[in-house]
Amino acid sequence: MHPMLNTAVKAAREAAEIIQYGARNLDRLTVDSKGPGDFVSEIDRNAEAAIVDTLLGAYPSHGIIAEEGSGSTRGNANSDHIWIIDPLDGTTNFLHGMPTYCVSIALQVEGKLTQAVIYDPNRNDLFTATRGSGAFLNNRRIRVSKTTKMRDALIGTGFPFRDGAAFDEYVTQFKNLMPKTAGLRRPGSAALDLAYVAAGFYDGFWEMKLNQWDMAAGALLILEAGGLVTGIDGEDTYMDSGAIVAGTPKIFPELLKTLQMK
């Protein structure tokens, strides 16, 4: 395993310990004067701090982009090496005790994704990838599914629930796609959904209005597992636009074409 990937795995496991401690203490919420949002952001911040401590402990000159904003205060923003971190992807699930959430860590070197870790502490599933070396789940090589027909495809997605304008466009996409597939799924953690495309559990995925830290690790996993990833425009724009489409080489073209239908 690449030494930087190794460090990222260590960081992800440390964050997961904090998250799972929080999960076991969710019942505190009923007696705590702080609201649920405060509780989850405290877990988020602590998990992120653990990740950043580990990464910068090993690589003090590297930069950070992270959901809770560590990047603005820690690390070197001008570094060629930027870690892109989501300490807890699926916070709403976490808060409700639904066990679908994960830690996501990616490394970008000179703008290229080179390392990826997605860790699901509930299933103890560790997804990893290094550019050019393939994608792995618990140290076993993974590849995207061999599904060839859209009618047999299981497609993951996420609702753009915070953005009314995007929602109308999304409903059209949903309506056009639904009858063509074996089913659509929306578990609530985009990072884990992308990892599931890489592992072949899904045949494709799309979502809009995502942040870099939702997509970075999952995108590299899919590419290293032999899948395709673009923006909804079919170009390599997803890290900037937040609109992502991913799938197996056979399913991807029809998925993209259907999503572009007006």
- Read off the tokens for 230: 């673009």
Dihedrals φ, ψ of 40, to 5°?
Answer: -70, -35
Band of residue 35 on the pLDDT scale cut at 50, 70, 90: low
Q: What is the pLDDT of residue 41?
A: 81
Q: What is the pLDDT of residue 167?
A: 86
Kindly state the average pLDDT of the residues 235-243.
Answer: 95
- Reported as a single tens digit per residue, the pLDDT across 179-195 is 999 999 999 999 999 99
- Give the Cα separation of 119 and 192 in Å (integer): 8
- Reported as a single tens digit per residue, the pLDDT across 84-109 is 999 999 998 998 899 999 999 999 99
For residue 36, pLDDT beyond 90: no
For residue 32, pLDDT beyond 60: no
Who has greater pLDDT, 181 or 73?
Answer: 181
Q: What is the pLDDT of residue 31?
A: 47
- Give the Cα separation of 239 and 177 in Å (integer): 23
Kindly state the average pLDDT of the residues 227-246.
Answer: 96
Cβ-Cβ contacts under 8 Å for 138 (sequence gap 6 or more) = 124, 125, 126
Who has greater pLDDT, 73 or 72?
Answer: 73
Lowest mean pLDDT segment, chosen from 22-31, 207-216, 223-232, 238-247: 22-31
- Reported as a single tens digit per residue, the pLDDT across 150-176 is 999 999 999 887 767 788 899 999 999
Torsion of CA 219, 180, 158, 257, to 10 degrees: 50
Q: Which domains are assigned to the chain? A: 3-142 (3.30.540.10), 150-260 (3.40.190.80)
Cβ-Cβ contacts under 8 Å for 145 (sequence gap 6 or more) = 200, 201, 202, 203, 248
- Reported as a single tens digit per residue, the pLDDT across 37-60 is 666 788 899 999 999 999 999 999
Rounded (5°) CA angle 189-138-1: 110
**Cβ 119 vs Cβ 125: under 8 Å:** yes
Mean pLDDT, all residues of the chain: 93
DSSP assignment string, 205-257: EEESS--HHHHHHHHHHHHHTT-EEE-TTSSS-HHHH--EEEE-TTTHHHHHH
DSSP code of residue 110: T
Kindly state the average pLDDT of the residues 231-246.
Answer: 96
For residue 259, pLDDT beyond 50: yes
Q: What is the pLDDT of residue 133?
A: 98
Closest CA to 191 of 164, 213, 166: 213
- Give the Cα separation of 205 and 174 in Å (integer): 12
DSSP assignment string, 148-193: --GGG-EEEE---TT-HHHHHHHHHHHHHHGGGSSEEE--S-HHHH
Helix (H/G/I), strand (E/B), else coil: 77: coil
Rounded (5°) CA angle 35-40-43: 130
